[in-house]
Amino acid sequence: MPGELEILLRTLSAVVVLFLMTKLLGKRQISQLSLFEYITGITIGNLAAYISLDLDAHWYYGIISIAVWVGMSLLVDFLQLKSKAARDFIDTKTTVLVRGGKILEHNLRKERITSDELMQQLRKNNAFSVADVEFASIEPSGEINVLLTKENQPLTAKDLGLSVQNEHVPQIVIMDGEILDKPLKEMGLDRNWLKKKMDEYGVKQDEIYLAQVDSKQEMYVDLYADHINVNKKKTSPPGELLALLKRCEADLKLYADKTKDKEMKQLHERFSTDLENVLSEMNPMAK
């Protein structure tokens, strides 16, 4: 067999084998890698190159070697699932870098992270001051997670004492002009409901590139004709509007407390009082 043809066949075989083995290893192998998974990925890549180009060796030796590495990786994954001690030894533990606004220098040295690298990662997590950080840690994958102090975290509906309806993942019910029955059924809907919605929008099925339905059974429609927008503007329900106004009120009070300008302080306090009066009148709407 000519050398060029043999290389072609070996390379195609290596691609197929790598694809099947990666499918077997699962999605973790293509996401954030642990130390062992990193070593496994490099080694399997080298073995695939060996299968493709080393014409003096038997190609199936490389397949056997890849199978052994994949088997070892699956065994390690099994041990990690069954034993925390194995997880801690193979993947290492999470290391705390900042606690209560204080940098733990000995942990930085242990992980070989410079202060510049730490500050860069904090800025990526919207923490531009170490004093604003309650907790920061580096995960076994190398990712740094940051928890801001309570006063620096965004306000939520829970902080405001409001109960809001749970959101569900929107479902695509039309794609490329074709109706998808399974998502419709999962949302308790059918084609009759979908047809009524299309009539409301004044569009036909073959005009729709994509249609998506949210948990409130509101439908977003994207047409093949990009210059036409048939989507209706949504109005915020009273509960969401109330939450937004309460957040504005809280921000005004915060600005009034922090500013040293007496005129601005009085202005913010007046706006805050006016907004508080509006909120008191809106309370029945949120019930």
- Rounded Cα distance, 153 and 264, in Å: 24
Task: Give, to the nearest 10 degrees, the angle between helix 262-286 and helix 238-258.
Answer: 160
Helices and strands (DSSP H and E) totals, the chain: 10, 8
The enclosing H or E element of 68 equals helix 59-82
CA angle 68, 69, 75 (to 5 degrees): 90
Are 282 and 269 in contact by the 8 Å Cβ rule? The answer is no
pLDDT at position 249 is: 77
- Rounded Cα distance, 224 and 237, in Å: 31
pTM of the model: 0.48
- Rounded Cα distance, 98 and 118, in Å: 9
Q: Token pair for residue 97?
A: 């870098």
Local confidence pLDDT in tens for the 287 residues of the chain: 555 676 667 667 766 766 676 666 555 544 455 666 667 777 777 777 766 666 565 666 777 777 777 777 778 778 777 877 777 676 677 889 999 989 999 999 988 889 898 999 999 988 888 999 999 998 877 788 999 988 787 767 676 666 666 667 889 999 998 999 999 998 889 999 999 999 988 899 999 999 999 888 889 999 998 888 888 655 555 666 677 777 787 777 777 777 777 888 788 788 888 878 877 776 654 44
Please name the residues in contact with 285: beta carbons below 8 A apart, sequence gap of 6 or more.
238, 242
Q: Report in angstroms the alpha-carbon separations of 278 from 41, 168, 239.
A: 60, 31, 14
- Rounded Cα distance, 87 and 80, in Å: 5
- Rounded Cα distance, 43 and 33, in Å: 14
